[in-house]
Structure 1
């Protein structure tokens, strides 16, 4: 049985995806990401990061704690009432002091990525008021480098 979404469903999910995308990648690129990014996940959440599976908020924390700092540039996103699809580029590590750095260094070398999120309403979050964006958590996340 196919589910029919109304224009209002699409508009609500688009606002939620816009809010989520900005908040998620701002948090991912922040100095406090090791503590703050896992809050987007629950113990039952799954993450597949470039083919490597992680489980729950603790798995996310372990994945990112040794990762160099990042700078994401979201180029587009598309959403449906249950999923958010993001594409963009990410640079890892510190910005080099000069542009004369070796091309073999991973620092500040942008890589294209594609990421898919399945968001679900957070049952413990306060109910959103009319016009507010509901609170969600990440149930599933798959990220893959494509370039």
Structure 2
């Protein structure tokens, strides 16, 4: 179990280090993280993967600061390669555009192992508030 937890922690760190800098500066790089059947909620609004990509393209520039996160391996989703899904909870602050005020955000992801690229994950669920 220690190996599974360690893998989840390492994968979570890598995901966060990729996701937020790209969300802030190069949102077009995020499209490959989602699948057509990914469940995406942004402030209560549901999106398909293509709609979400278009929506992100219309948002003003942003700057996220992650304050804290934790992750939990979802061992019930273990695949034949020994990888399992990961539940990630993140809180922090975000600024959009020229607005000087920071807003608190909370984001929950469920990452699932990518069957086509062993060792990679895709976003099965993304809930941003």
TM-score after normalising by structure 1: 0.76
Q: Equivalent residue for 1:40?
A: 33
Q: What is the number of residues matched between the two proteins?
A: 117
Q: Equivalent residue for 1:7?
A: 2
CA RMSD of aligned residues (A): 1.0
Q: Which has the higher strand share?
A: 2
Q: How far apart, in 2, do the equivalents of 1:108 and 1:121 lie?
A: 38
Runs of 4+ displaced beyond 2 Å? none
Of 70, 74, 88, the match for 2:92: 88
Structure 2 unaligned residues grouped into runs of 5+? 74-85
Whether 1:120 and 2:112 are equivalent positions in the alignment is yes
CA deviations on 1:37-94 (whole Å, 9 max, x unpaired) are 22211111111001111012x1221221111001000011100112011000000003
TM-score after normalising by structure 2: 0.86
Q: SS where residue 108 of structure 1 aligns?
A: coil
